[in-house]
Amino acid sequence: MSDRAGRPDRLRVAVAAPLSEENRARVQELEPRVDLVVDPSLLPPMRWPADFAGDPDWRRTDAQQRAYEAAIDSADALYGIPDVDPGALARAVRANPGLRWVHTMAAGGGAQVRAAGLTDTELQRVLFTTSAGVHGRPLAEFAVFGVLAGAKDLPRLNRQQRDHTWSGRWTMGQVHRQTVLLLGLGGIGRKVAEALHALGATVIGTSRRDADVSGVTTGVPGVTTVVHPDRIADVAPTVDAVVNTLPGTDATEHLVGKRFLDALRPGATLVNVGRGTVVDEAALLDALDSGQVGFAALDVFETEPLPVDSPLWDHDRVLVSPHTAALDGAEDRLIAELFAANATRLLDGHDLVNRVDTVEFY
């Protein structure tokens, strides 16, 4: 047991989200000072890798729910937000004054923390971390796929194949001659920059902190220029594609809106692997209809699941991906390893990685 009055020599962790026996062993191999409190019968069965919410039809009995909450209330830390439910997170924080740390499974776990409606005192007492970075390579691959699909005019190829039309040849776009605006230079954005740079693209990044007066930086591999997000409409006429990796915050909501889309080079590609709220979908539809945006590869949306009556479903310039681009068979293991590394940092008195900003909640 830990000494909650000072730095603990052990960490009692309630496993609040599905965690396989193999990955439990991996956590304890990497950090033997962790004591996992886990009863698999109290956790929903996963339908696929990283399905931390589990089967929606599964239910605990009243006795199981009491046992689940008792384990959570006895812990120094939580592996996962209970039932991926902000309300359950709020209950856990308030019922357990010894709770010090909650690790969220999502890269964008800050939104779940925000939805819990915790007080400033509660937010200061408990550390929150996310799984950001675990999804970087899968999302970078989807981003490259989207940029390539736009450059090669996937909508036209699909249309001609569907109609059995063998047209004359046409000149396709070449990614190695394109300029891509990358919104966000966090863990995902840096992987995207690396992948696009490897294809020869010129990458412009955005950052609220790293852009200097001239806008030129060499601090991010693969990125030639960094601009402040307030300036993206200024560079929009120079770019062939836009990739969003930004989280959903008040500052990023509808950053990709009418003003920016109107300023784009006609026919530009848009790829969204960040959060759906960054893109104003009404403005995007207008830009798609006019041809201002030639192709959009979207893995995230303002409302999820995407409503059945959304025009995005049937737009021939849009590829709809049901928020699945990040899913990787190795994700569960990578999150467990990230958690173990942070547990070591906590036990040794070091700052945790992927801390949630409890002002902007990302």
Active-site residue set: 275, 304, 323
Hey, what are 232's tokens? 């993206």
335/29 Cα distance (integer angstroms): 14
Q: List the 11-15 sheet strands across, edge first.
A: 34-37, 11-15, 77-79, 101-103, 127-129
Question: Residue 340 corresponds to which amino acid?
Answer: A
- Nearest to residue 228, comparing CAs of 250, 252, 249? 252
Contact 356, 113 (CB under 8 A): yes
Q: What is the DSSP string of 296-311?
A: EEES--SSSSPPTT-G
Looking up tokens 């193999």 gives 22
Q: Is 270 helix (H, G, I), strand (E, B) or coil?
A: strand
Q: Please list the alpha-helical segments (H only) found in 31-109.
A: 62-73, 86-95
CA distance 311 to 317: 11
CB 61 within 8 A of CB 68: no
Three-state DSSP class for 329? coil
304 closest CA partner among 272, 334, 328? 272
Comparing CA positions, the residue from 176, 193, 146, 20 lying closest to residue 210 is 193
DSSP H/E element including 154 = helix 154-162
Query: What pairs with residue 129 in β-bridges?
Result: 103, 355
| Count of all residues that appear for the chain in the document | 362
The residues, ordered by sequence, that sit 6+ positions from 121 with a Cβ below 8 Å of its Cβ are none
Residues 257 and 356: their CA atoms lie apart, in Å, by: 26
Q: Which amino acid is at 94?
A: R
